[in-house]
Amino acid sequence: MTNRYILKKDHLPSLLRRLMKEYRLVAPVKNEHGDTMFSVIDSIDRTSLDLDSQPQGSIKPFLFPQQEVLFDYQCDNTAHYEFNPNSSAEATVFFGIRSCDLSAVLYMDVIFSKKNRDSSYFQKRNETVLIALACNEPFNNCFCNATKSGPFLEYGFDLQFTDLEDRYLVESGRAKGEEIIARFLPFFTPAGEKDAKGQYQAFLEARSHFKQQVHVDQVIKRLKSGPIADEIWAELSLRCQDCGGCAYVCPTCTCFTITDLEITPSSGKRIRSWDACTFAGFTRMAGGHNPVDSRSQAIKQRFLHKLLYDAQDHGRPSCVGCGRCVGICFGGVDIIRFIAMACD
């Protein structure tokens, strides 16, 4: 059972200003080029907070950076190695995360704790407070209704804000959310029946405004029933230019590669960088052999992983319906197109 409060919209800047005294604040910001990105905010007054557009990227890079040093190492002349893990993590409030992106964080929590708990990820994750913003109006390519990850969340958030015109309905879903409410109590008043009804109305309207009809349950059933035609993979592979854009913008893509960077003959760094299963070199082995040696196999791996393997392993697909891969792919190899082709 979540607790519900009201925050007047006029009071939001003051609340964020107060939060910034205790946390690093990350929120969607419109930059000088007109792009909305999740950014670290230094000053609320000098920042163009944008809660109306979908940020181009998710908060994935803050928890799982595109490139990060896992540890550095030194070796003495007796060949004894010393490893110094990179253990930096800052207490951070993420404000204005859409339901899809918050669902993606829940997915990353599972992936990074699967076998060996990933300390680099969880150092950052344990220091986060997640404040969601329910989607009153889905964006053009969104289909989180079909992936059951929005437009409003029932769990997983520390706080969830719903825009009710002059005020936000604020739900606390976890202890960290309750702590924020308790610490900044003067900003909040208890929500009433009218507010709960307003939120339900906003939810119903949002549900009716999706522009994409995407049959996620149907495609999962179809993929479980057996292989799909090779021609589909072949057509998609002809369109793909191996740019990696789809994996980089995807909030649930978590493939990475590891490299060691020698600084001196006796010291260096181990670096983790994003990788993508569509990249030609993703499965190439030392010596040059590649067990997944064709573009169509790589595309197949991407879509089967998201829609079949994760549905089998975790009971739900790892696509959260954010629609970003639809906008980014100049070849039109997006998950909506694939689902339509597979269900045809």
User: Residue numbers of the site for ligand SF4 (CB under 6 A)?
Assistant: 240-246, 249-252, 278, 306, 319-325, 328-329, 331, 333, 335
Nearest to 290 by CA among 305, 301, 303: 301
State the minimum distance, in angstroms, from the CB of residue 242 to ligand SF4: 5
In whole angstroms, the minimum distance from the beta carbon of 323 to ligand SF4 comes to 5
Q: Is residue 24 a contact partner of residue 63, using CB atoms and an 8 Å limit?
A: no
Token pair of 44, please? 């609320």
Print the SS3 string covering 108-165.
Answer: HHHHCCCCCCCHHHHHHHCCEEEEEECCCCCCCCCCHHHHCCCCCCCCCCCEEEEECC
Nearer to ligand SF4, 170 or 335 (CB): 335
Minimum distance of ligand SF4 from residue 135's CB (angstroms): 14
CB atoms within 10 A of CB 32: 6
CB 154, min distance to ligand SF4, A: 19
Minimum gap (Å) between residue 335 Cβ and ligand SF4 = 4
Nearer to ligand SF4, 48 or 257 (CB): 257
Nearer to ligand SF4, 27 or 246 (CB): 246
Write down the H helix ranges in 130-275. Answer: 144-147, 175-183, 193-207, 216-224, 230-239, 245-249
Closest to ligand SF4 by CB, 141 vs 162, is 141
- Our CB check for ligand SF4 shows the closer of 18 and 337 to be 337
